[in-house]
Structure 1
Amino acid sequence: MTIDSSTRPTVRAYHDAKFRGDVPAAAAHIGEVFTFSSPFVTSDSPTGHLAGLEGLLGIVTRVDLISELYADTEATLIYDIHTDSPVGIQRTAEHFRLEGGCIVAITIIFDATPWHAIMAAAGPV
């Protein structure tokens, strides 16, 4: 299988920009048609899924990339998000679909159970 040479640079640029808190740089890698799904958020907006990023990054102390898997039109990153919250370390899998060198879909998978009490205490957004 040949791998589109833009898959890895696109996904890594998005990932790095997201965890720097650079929403415009992250959004620059997303296509006009886009879907996002996580345990807490679904969105079809290229920037809507990044709306709460500042709040998340406020408790993130570091991100350790565990694995990167790339194919022609998809990629999966597995990483640990270290937080200064009661959650501690959140192991996360993020799957990307790409078309024409742009990210068109992201699915984030993690165990949301430790976050329920924190979200309840924070109240409605």
Structure 2
Amino acid sequence: MTTETRTRQIVRGYHDARFSGDMPAAVAHLAEPFTFQSPLMSSADPAGHLAGLPGFLQVVTGVDMISELYGESEATLVYDVHTATPAGTQRTAEHFRLDGAGITSIMLIFDGTPWQAMLAMMGQAPPDTATAKPSR
């Protein structure tokens, strides 16, 4: 098996498990140490990263993959997340870094503006990613 094939299996396994709501399978693809960063939050452990996933999946109506790029120790996915929210369809890029044990970091890139407005309307402030502390 080539390293690109292994990278693809891990990253797509994680992606598919996450969007199907299978948290144990998603976590199984993550390594320690692990970091996650997005426009709305950051986390330094797999459990913290996936904590809000069940609520998010309640508003997801579909995911359309646009592009998948795989290397030896990194991957990038570009996809549209369709939601039943005022945000509608969210174009998303996700960059992964891997080591021998699995995914060590994820950087999620999207326009967080519509989500910040929705959180504010619900009386919830998004975490300040500039000062967020690792949750270990």
**Residue equivalent to 1:28:** 28
**Residue equivalent to 1:69:** 69
**Residue equivalent to 1:80:** 80
Gaps of 5+ in 1: none
User: Is 2:54 the partner of 1:45?
Assistant: no
| Matched AA of 1:19 | F
TM-score by length of 2: 0.87
**Structure 1: distance between partners of 2:114 and 2:82:** 13
Within a 5 Å distance, the mapping from 1:88-103 to structure 2 comes to 88-103=88-103
Aligned length: 124
For the 8 Å contact 2:3–2:72, the answer to whether it is kept is yes
Quote how far apart the aligned CAs of 1:101 are: 4.4
SS at match of 1:47: helix
Q: Percent identity among equivalent residues?
A: 59
TM-score by length of 1: 0.94
User: Is 2:40 the partner of 1:15?
Assistant: no
For the 8 Å contact 2:13–2:26, the answer to whether it is kept is yes
Which deviations, in whole Å up to 9, do the C-alpha atoms of 1:71-98 show, x marking residues without a partner?
Answer: 0000000000000111110000000000
Quote how far apart the aligned CAs of 1:3 are: 3.9
**Residue equivalent to 2:129:** none
For the 8 Å contact 2:4–2:70, the answer to whether it is kept is no
**Structure 2: distance between partners of 1:66 and 1:18:** 17
**Structure 1: distance between partners of 2:16 and 2:4:** 20
**Residue equivalent to 1:111:** 111
Q: Cα RMSD over matched residues?
A: 1.3
Instruction: Summarize the Cα distance change of 1:101–1:68 in structure 2 as closer, same or farther, 3 Å threshold.
Output: farther
| Matched AA of 1:90 | Q
For the 8 Å contact 2:80–2:91, the answer to whether it is kept is yes
**Structure 2: distance between partners of 1:101 and 1:76:** 18
